[in-house]
Structures are given as C-alpha cells and as structure tokens.
Chain A
Amino acid sequence: MGAKGFFTDTTICIGCKACEVACKQWNQLPDDGFALTGMSYDNTAALGASTWRHVAFIERPVALSNQMADGFSWLFSSDVCKHCARAGCLESCPTGAIVRTEFESVFVQQDICNGCGYCVVNCPFGVIDRREDDGRAWKCTLCYDRLKDDMTPACAKACPTESIQFGDLDELRVRARGRVEMLHEQGMQEAYLYGDSAAAQPGTEGLNAFFLLVDKPEVYNLPPNPVVPTKNVGQSWLSMAFAALGVAAVALGSVAASRHGGAR
C-alpha cells in the first residue's frame, strides 16, 4: 500500500471550491448553513465535523512578488485534515476508535467512537469536531472507501488545476520540492513547504497532507510550530506523580499528627 497523502500547492489554487463540493457530495455531508461571513469569498469559515475541505481566501493590502495588483494580494488555500505522522487525535483517543490505516492516513471508526470529545482539543490544527446531532467525532477520511477501490480522493479528483495532488508521499515530496525550486527561479522567493517532513515540523513529525505556502502560516490559519500534545504528556504524569506523593505524605502526616495533641 505505502503512505498516501495530499500535496496542496496553494499557488495554483483558483478558489473554485470544487474540492469542498466534491467532498460533501462523495461523503454525503450536510451543508453547514448559508451565511455570509464577510471574509472575502470564504463563506465556509472553517473545517468542522461536516466540512472536511475548506478553501481559505486571504485578501489583504500586502504586496507579494507573483501578484500584479499593486500592494494587494489574494491568496487561496484548500485546507484539510493533515493526517499527521504523529496525530494528536489518534494518540489521545481513549476508545481506539481513531486508527492509522494501511495508507498511513488517520481514520475515525464511527462504530466505535463514543463522542468523548478529547480528540477535538488534541488536534493542533482545529480540524476534527464532534457533531451536535449524532454525538460522534468526524473528519476527513482521506476517502478511505475510495482508496480501497484504488480511486483518488474526491477533492483531488475534482480539483481542476491540480492544486490538490494525491499520491505516494515519497513521490509527492520530490515533486513539491521541485515546484518550490521552480517558483524560486521564477522569482517567487516566498514559496516554501509547510509540514513536508519530520525535520520541517518536528512537533507532528511531518504531515501526510502538506502544503506549499507563500506567506506566514498564520495567514492561512495554520499554526507556525504545532506540537502534538501527547509528545509532552510525560512531563505532566511526572509532576502528577510527585504531587501525589505529596498528598500521600500529607495524609499520613495529618493522621499521625492528630495522635499527639497537635493542632486543634
């Protein structure tokens, strides 16, 4: 099988939202209401339990080297679950409902999830969410059902510019690095890869869905240096152990002290 993933090249995204629609359609996800947000053409707002692709529109008075408009830039980026190499959602899931598949993607087994909501606060990207009505956690499955049948995930299939590329991760990484070099040669020095390897993003040990960006991650609502919480949980257990020893000592001490007059 091998590791599969997405390479999202934001420089060729045209903001058509075909990926959003294809995802909703294939996965039979409900709409999340029709409200205007005032955030450029983005009325989807965020990823969530029923939105597994979200195209961000960044419209602002900042000049970027590839955009002609004087002192103005417009960026599009199709966001998705990153299928982290070390996934906060998976490692924190108390039921084992979230698993790593044979494609190295992160998958929520809906027949097991009991809706504890712990993955929601463990994802450093704010991806996974619990559905109000059915009580379980939902997120992108990397179209697990399609992969099983050797098909490309719906979003990548629908993307008309190949901004979303799906394939073997090793191959995608090579292609992505080539693309960055190409952009640099063309004078677009801002281009860089986000989360393409463990070295680039040690906190998650790399993302199976990585991005080519041309501005700070914050602009796209991506964290600059995400760390999977479970990486540091040992520190918490250690301090709990010391504190628990303290409580035990106080308990024994208070019982012992009560024997000899002591306090009151």
Chain B
Amino acid sequence: MKTDGRDIDPSLGMLLGEGSGQQVKRDDERMEAVLPLPWDKTPTVSETDPTYYDRPLLKEPVWKIDIPIYYFLGGAAGAALALGAAVQLAGDGELQEFGKRCHWVGIVGSSIGGALLVHDLGRPMRFLNMLRVFRPTSPMNVGAWILSGAAPLAITAGLFSNRQGLLGHVGSAAGYGAGLFGLGLAGYTGVLVGNTSIPLYQETRRLMPVLFLASATASAASILDILFEDRRSSKITFIFGTAGRLAELGCGFAVENVAGRVPQVAKPLHSGVSGALWRTATALTAASLVISLIPGHSRSRRKWAGVLGALGSLALRFAVHYAGTASARDPRASFRQQRAKMIA
C-alpha cells in the first residue's frame, strides 16, 4: 500500500458513503427560502406565544406544479370514466358516441396525469417502485395502484367497448372497471392531502376527498361541454356539471368553516397567493354555474360555462396546493391546532 510517510491509510479519508458526494443548494438561497429576513431582523422567542424564531415546524411539500395539474387532470379523467360507465349501463344506443367521448377524456387525462406524476418524482426512473408493495396505510401507494388500474382499463374500454363479439365484451367490462377505478382516481388525491401533517389539510381531512370529487365532477362536465356538442349529451353534462359545481362551492365553503375552527389554520385560504386563488376559484365556478343556468339553449353559452367551470376547478387545485405550502410554513398553525385539541 502506498503511504505518504505517515502511518495513515489514505483510503480511510475518502468519501465513499451513500450520503456523500451531495451538493446542497447555495446557503443564502436556502436561508431565504425559509425565512426571508436579514439576520438582524430575526424575531425573538416570545414568552407567551413561543415559536422557534418563527422558523417553520414542518417541511413544506417538495411537489412542483405537476401535482395540482395532476389533481385536475386525474380528477376530470376519473369522473369522466365514472360517467362513461353510467352511460354504458343505461345501454342506450343513442348515447354510444357520448360514452366513447367519456372514455377518451379518461384516457387522455389519466395518461398525461400519470406522466406528470412520474415527472415530479425525485427519481423518475424508479416510478415502478411504487408497485413493489401494496401498502394500504399509504394513500399514495393505493393511488398508484388505482392509476395503474384506471389508465389501462380506460384504454381498453376506449378501443373496444363498441365492437362486436368477444372484444366488445372485454371492452365493456373494462368500461365498468374503469368507472369504478375512475371514482377512486378522482377521490384518492383528496385522501392523499388529508393524510399529511400540514395543519390545513389535517384539519379538513374529512372534507378534502369530497371537495376533490366534487371538483372532479364539475371539471369532467366542463371539459365534455367544451369539446363536444349535441343535444342529448348536453342534457347529461348539464345535470352532472350543475351537481358538481354546486357541490364544489358548498364544499369549499365547508372547508373554510372547518379550517376556521382554528383561525390560524384557515389563514392561507384568506391571504396570500393561495387566498387569491381560492377566491378566484369560487368566483369562476359561481360564474360558470350562473351562466349554465340561464334558460334556453345556446351553444356558445354552454362552452363559456364549460371554460369558466374548468378554470374554476383548476384554480381550486392550485389554491389547495399553495395553501398547503403556506400552512406548512406557519408554525403557529400547527401549535394552535394541537393545543386546541389538547384542551378539547
């Protein structure tokens, strides 16, 4: 062994461990990301309402905008697949075409959504590791299984459901399956955010799945309205969409109320970027609802209602996403929420 005269094995000084060879982000950036204050403006630790120099207690989500877009697309796809299965069940020849469109919205939404999910991973090549276990305690694992069921079923249904013979049977069975998996696809993301330590999500964990499903319903109807036009199917999307938009508005209101039990927890819904998005979402959805309810048939009005409705749902998903980040940054939200539970 080569030595440098000292009785030391130089290989011992080499950084070979798993954790080595890392590069962290630049210091000032890192500091600013957490606390955008110059060091001489650092808050003191107060006696009555202490936090650790206002540092966040929790880590904020590392998810990028892929994720709210996925919430939207996956939701719309899921609800469209459910509607497609309902159409199939009715067995109405006149609606065959409409059922097919539902399947195609499902196919496009779940495939783009899936691609976004993979893109957001820290190690995209390892996506399939999600499927190496089945772990019911992890909504993300359950969701990965749901997505990998929904997408292929939707594709099978889209390709074969209107065929004759055996293929047709396979296609229609896949269509029903896709409908069931679609409901899961539209709803599990609500469970996924509810199952986090982020105070806003934690407080509204019972409502989030309902809000996400409602929003999915509204956006599926909106998208179908924007893309396609015929009298019979527009009756369906009208009822489906109206129910979805009403539920979306009602549920949003309920989320504000439930989170408002601890005012600090509801703060991101009222202030900042997330608050603005949240209000925008409500306004867009309400506008879409009003326009769609004006009596009389008008093709352009229906499209406008669809555009506003889809934008409203998209804004809602972004609002939920950014509100989560804001909530994670606020140590007082967690502290007060937990103290409130301790007294109760």
B213 to A244, Cβ gap below 8 A? yes
User: What is the CB-to-nearest-CB distance from A68 to chain B, in angstroms, rounded to a whole number?
Assistant: 19
User: What is the CB-to-nearest-CB distance from A52 to chain B, in angstroms, rounded to a whole number?
Assistant: 9
A231-264 interface mask toward B, CB cutoff 8 Å, 1 = contact, 0 = none?
Answer: 0110111111011101110111111111100111
What CA separation (Å) do A146 and B37 show in the bound complex? 39
Contact of B47 among A32, A61, A240, A262 (CB under 8 A): A61
Residues in A neighbouring B51, C-beta threshold 8 A:
218, 221
What CA separation (Å) do A27 and B135 show in the bound complex? 30
- Name A77's closest neighbour in chain B (CB-CB): B52
Residues in A neighbouring B6, C-beta threshold 8 A:
none
Is A28 part of the contact surface with B, judged by Cβ < 8 Å?
A: yes
Stretch at the interface among B124-132, B163-171, B271-279: B124-132
Residues in A neighbouring B222, C-beta threshold 8 A:
none
Interface residues on A, range: 35 or more
Known: A27-B17, A121-B198. A262 touches B132 (CB 8 A): no
Interface residues of B (CB under 8 A from A): 15-20, 22-28, 30-31, 34-35, 38-42, 44-47, 50-53, 55-63, 79, 82-83, 85-87, 89-90, 92, 95, 120-124, 126-127, 129-130, 132-133, 135, 137-141, 143-144, 179, 183-184, 186-188, 190-192, 194-198, 202, 205-210, 213-214, 216-217, 232-240, 243-244, 247, 295-297, 324, 328, 331, 334-335, 338-339, 341-342
A-B contact pairs, 9 of them (CB 8 A): A29-B20, A31-B24, A94-B135, A95-B132, A121-B58, A240-B190, A258-B235, A258-B236, A263-B238
Contact of A223 among B62, B239, B338 (CB under 8 A): B338
Residues in B neighbouring A218, C-beta threshold 8 A:
50-52, 331, 335
What CA separation (Å) do A216 and B46 show in the bound complex? 12
B196 to A229, Cβ gap below 8 A? yes
What CA separation (Å) do A27 and B153 show in the bound complex? 46
A58 to B52, Cβ gap below 8 A? yes
Is A93 part of the contact surface with B, judged by Cβ < 8 Å?
A: yes
B239 to A263, Cβ gap below 8 A? yes
Residues in B neighbouring A128, C-beta threshold 8 A:
59
B50 to A219, Cβ gap below 8 A? yes
User: What is the CB-to-nearest-CB distance from A149 to chain B, in angstroms, rounded to a whole number?
Assistant: 14
Is A91 part of the contact surface with B, judged by Cβ < 8 Å?
A: yes
Interface residues of A (CB under 8 A from B): 27-39, 45-46, 48-50, 56, 58-62, 88, 91-97, 110, 112-118, 120-138, 215-216, 218-221, 223-227, 229-230, 232-233, 235-240, 242-244, 246-248, 250-259, 262-264
Interface centre among B22, B42, B135, B331 (most CB of A within 10 A): B22
